[in-house]
């Protein structure tokens, strides 16, 4: 009885394996690894977004503080 499935090759530490020859436990472990890699990539993407957002808000804060300090300089005060 031959194996008619297309080979599904994965590389683990430089060695290629055909997933079709994996045990059920090995497939489950591989699925966990693949899912965790996807989650890590998603987290890196979200971290990039968060860092850019934080930098944008910090830039806005700095601009606001510069504007406020210019307005508070002598000669720029409003007399009530």
What one-character DSSP code corresponds to residue 15? E
pTM of the model: 0.69
* CB burial readout 37-66, b (16+ within 10 A) else e: eeeeeeeeeeeeeeeeeeeeeeeeeeeeee
Residue 15 confidence (pLDDT):
97
The answer, yes or no, to whether residue 29 has pLDDT greater than 90, is yes
Q: With bands split at pLDDT 50, 70 and 90, how would you rate the model's confidence at 21?
A: very high
Which element (helix H / strand E) includes 12?
A: strand 9-12
**Mean pLDDT (whole number) for 23-43:** 98
């Amino acid at each position: 009885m031959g194996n008619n499935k297309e080979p599904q090759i994965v590389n683990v530490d430089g060695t290629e394996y055909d997933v079709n020859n994996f045990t059920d436990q090995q497939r489950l472990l591989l699925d966990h690894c693949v899912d965790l890699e996807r989650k890590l990539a998603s987290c890196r993407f979200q971290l990039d977004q968060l860092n850019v957002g934080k930098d944008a808000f910090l830039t806005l804060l700095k601009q606001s503080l510069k504007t406020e300090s210019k307005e508070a300089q002598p000669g720029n005060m409003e007399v009530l």
